[in-house]
């Protein structure tokens, strides 16, 4: 199926670059896991954004001259042995048609062709690693061209990373991207609901992890990031992924896990009582985090910034921690001295898209980026109480985070993960159901 959307993105990219330029992206090689076994391949997000192509070691090349741009693609040549072992890959002819490329060839031609692209180009916009084949070949040819300087031949002297341009394109999600993110969110919601129904004391964190994976795999999705299934005090380790402890009656279980669908991520955290009922002390902290999250979500409107969203969460948490005596000073003093950081030490949200932490800019010209329709990000405040001095041991080792994914619209913010319960009564209700 031909995919016009990728061609449109390349056309936009072509408008954003200077004349007399070549754009070169190479998708990374496969990584060895051990001996002769590879990790499952995940395409570079920027490469996917411009091509929709999922194979390693392919090269996309754009040449812009006198205002006109042509696109070229270099792919791995299908061969009989590889077909026997790993299956078919598309021929150059098919790729040219599917990806709407002007000319597609096999990789072995790249070394031959590249000098022609580099000659008389001033700028290279690049996205490949320092160790990549593409870089080695390009460097070799630039060296050769440099040696011919007396002939008056031109060659690129200006190397520009493509990241800024691509990341500023990726910050606003198209309809097709939103549909993939919505799918990822809905799979994650089902996974968390399944886990809530199956959760009980005396089983292991990895058994809960397996319930999530069941839902991801049966829905043709993968983990968007290593799942955090953290019971009891493990929840106070922000990036805990060991997932090998036994679930204890009376403890909480923090689950930060979500699906990636068609290369698009979702990102959800829920914190639930292992025995199905929140204790009095857990409820106190849970309600503070929930209030902070709801207040922060209200700020996710056009014209605000992620800074304001974060500040709202911080303000609510600080106010409420003062009320319960965890912070013993006035609101303004506590905000100034950032006392909340003892309990809430991470940011409230991040861009979400092809990457779970989508690498779009947070500031432009020193100012926080204003929220616009089509932006997607997480809202994920938390409170983590290890064993701070002066805090009753009833609260020790409580770690709570609540995370949803939010789309900015021209009206109210849309919570893409709204279908997953987060009110105490709704969580307790779903957990009381038989699996
Ligand atoms: N799951 C990673 C994060 O919430 O940022
Ligand atoms: Mn997140
Ligand atoms: Mn998360």
pLDDT tens-place string over residues 183-210 = 999 999 999 999 999 999 999 999 999 9
pLDDT at 86: 87
**Ligand 2 centroid distance, CA of 358 (Å):** 10
Q: What percentage of the chain reaches a pLDDT higher than 70?
A: 99
Nearest bound ligand to the CA of residue 268: 3
Taking all residues of the chain, what is their mean pLDDT, rounded to a whole number? 96
pLDDT at 2: 58
Instruction: Say if ligand 1 is within 6 A of residue 206 CB.
Output: no
Q: Check if the beta carbon of residue 344 is closer than 8 Å to that of residue 326.
A: no
Q: In the predicted model, what is the mean pLDDT of residues 289-317?
A: 98
- Is the model's pLDDT at 260 over the cut of 80? yes
Asked if residue 154 has pLDDT above 80, the reply is: yes
Q: Which atom of ligand 1 is nearest to the CA of 228?
A: 1
Q: How far is the CA of 297 from the centre of ligand 2 (A)?
A: 14
39-48 contacts, C-beta under 8 A, 24 or more apart? 40/222, 42/263, 43/263, 44/127, 45/170, 45/263, 45/353, 45/354, 45/355, 46/127, 46/162, 46/163, 46/166, 46/170, 47/127, 48/263, 48/354
**% pLDDT > 90, the chain:** 93
pLDDT confidence tier of residue 271, bands split at 50, 70 and 90: very high
| pLDDT for the residue numbered 41 | 97
Q: Which residues surround ligand 2, an ion (CB under 5 A)?
A: 267, 378
Collapse the DSSP code of 405 into the 3-class scheme (helix H, G, I; strand E, B; otherwise coil) and give the result.
strand
- Residues 212 and 257 sit within 8 Å (Cβ to Cβ): yes
In short, whether 256's Cβ falls inside 6 Å of ligand 1 is: yes
pLDDT surpassing 80 at residue 3: no
Assess whether pLDDT exceeds 80 at residue 435.
no
Model confidence at 382, pLDDT cuts 50, 70, 90, reads: very high
pLDDT at residue 153, rounded to an integer:
87
205 lines ligand 1 (CB under 6 A): no
> What's the gap between Cα 109 and its chain centre?
34
Inter-residue contact 13 to 117 (CB < 8 Å): no
Strand-pair partners of 59: 26, 74
Verify whether ligand 1 is closer than 6 Å to residue 225 (CB atom): yes
- Report the nearest-CA residue for atom 3 of ligand 1: 267
Average pLDDT of the segment spanning 104-108? 97
Cα(65)–Cα(21) distance, rounded to whole angstroms? 7
pTM of the model: 0.96
pLDDT confidence of residue 152: 84
Which pLDDT belongs to residue 386?
95
23-30 average pLDDT score: 96
Tens of pLDDT, residue by residue over 119-137, are 989 999 999 988 888 999 9
Ligand 1: residue of 227, 239, 267 to mutate (most ligand atoms within 8 A of CB) is: 267
pLDDT at residue 184, as a whole number: 98
Q: Is the CB of 106 inside a 6 Å radius of any atom of ligand 1?
A: no
Ligand 1: atom nearest CA of 256 is: 1
197 contacts: CB under 8 Å, gap ≥ 6? 430, 431, 433, 434, 435
pLDDT for residue 234 is more than 60: yes
End-to-end CA distance of the chain: 41
pLDDT average, residue stretch 232-258: 98
Q: Which of 382, 354, 351 is nearest to 224 (CA)?
A: 354
Query: What pLDDT shows up at residue 354?
Result: 98
Report CA(216)–ligand 2 centroid distance (Å).
18
CA of 382 to the centre of ligand 1 (A): 12
Q: Which atom in ligand 1 lies closest to the alpha carbon of residue 225?
A: 1
What pLDDT is recorded for position 120? 85
Tell me how many helices (H) and strands (E) the chain has: 13, 21
The domains of the chain, with CATH numbers, are 3-169 (3.40.350.10), 171-431 (3.90.230.10)
411's CB contacts (< 8 A; 6+ apart) are none
Question: What ligand is nearest to the CA atom of residue 270?
Answer: 3
């Amino acid at each position: 199926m031909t995919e016009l959307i990728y061609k449109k993105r390349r056309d936009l990219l072509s408008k954003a670059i200077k004349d007399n330029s070549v754009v070169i992206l190479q998708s990374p090689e496969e990584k060895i896991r051990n001996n002769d076994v590879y990790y499952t391949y995940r395409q570079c997000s920027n490469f996917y954004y411009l091509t929709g192509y999922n194979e390693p070691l392919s090269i996309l090349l754009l040449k812009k001259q006198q205002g006109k741009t042509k696109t070229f693609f270099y792919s791995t040549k299908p061969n009989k042995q590889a077909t026997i072992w790993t299956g078919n890959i598309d021929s150059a002819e098919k790729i040219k048609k599917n990806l709407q490329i002007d000319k597609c060839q096999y990789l072995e031609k790249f070394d031959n062709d590249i000098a022609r692209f580099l000659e008389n180009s001033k700028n290279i916009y690049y996205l490949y690693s320092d160790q990549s084949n593409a870089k080695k070949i390009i460097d070799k040819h630039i060296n050769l061209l440099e040696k011919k300087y007396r002939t008056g031949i031109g060659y690129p002297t200006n190397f520009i990373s493509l990241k800024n341009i691509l990341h500023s394109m990726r910050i606003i999600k198209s309809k097709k991207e939103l549909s993939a993110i919505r799918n990822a969110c809905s799979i994650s919601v089902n996974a968390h609901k399944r886990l809530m129904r199956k959760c009980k004391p005396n089983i292991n964190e990895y058994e809960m992890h397996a319930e999530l994976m069941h839902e991801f795999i049966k829905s043709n999705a993968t983990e968007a990031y290593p799942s955090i299934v953290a019971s009891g005090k493990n929840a106070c380790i922000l990036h805990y992924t060991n997932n090998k402890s036994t679930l204890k009656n009376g403890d909480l279980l923090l689950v930060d896990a979500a699906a990636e669908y068609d290369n698009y991520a979702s990102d959800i955290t829920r914190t639930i009582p292992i025995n199905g009922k929140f204790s009095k002390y857990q409820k106190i902290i849970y309600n503070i985090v929930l209030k902070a999250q709801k207040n922060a979500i209200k700020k996710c409107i056009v014209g605000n910034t992620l800074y304001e969203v974060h500040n709202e969460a911080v303000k609510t948490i600080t106010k409420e921690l003062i009320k319960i005596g965890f912070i013993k000073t006035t609101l303004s003093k506590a905000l100034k001295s950032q006392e909340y950081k003892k309990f809430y030490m991470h940011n409230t949200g991040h861009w979400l898209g092809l990457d779970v932490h989508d690498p779009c800019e947070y500031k432009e010209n020193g100012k926080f980026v204003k929220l616009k329709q089509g932006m997607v990000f997480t809202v994920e405040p938390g409170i983590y109480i290890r064993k701070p001095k002066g805090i009753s041991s009833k609260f020790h080792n409580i770690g709570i985070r609540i995370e949803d994914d939010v789309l900015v619209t021209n009206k109210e913010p849309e919570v893409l993960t709204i279908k997953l319960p987060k009110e105490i009564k709704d969580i307790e209700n779903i957990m009381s159901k038989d699996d």
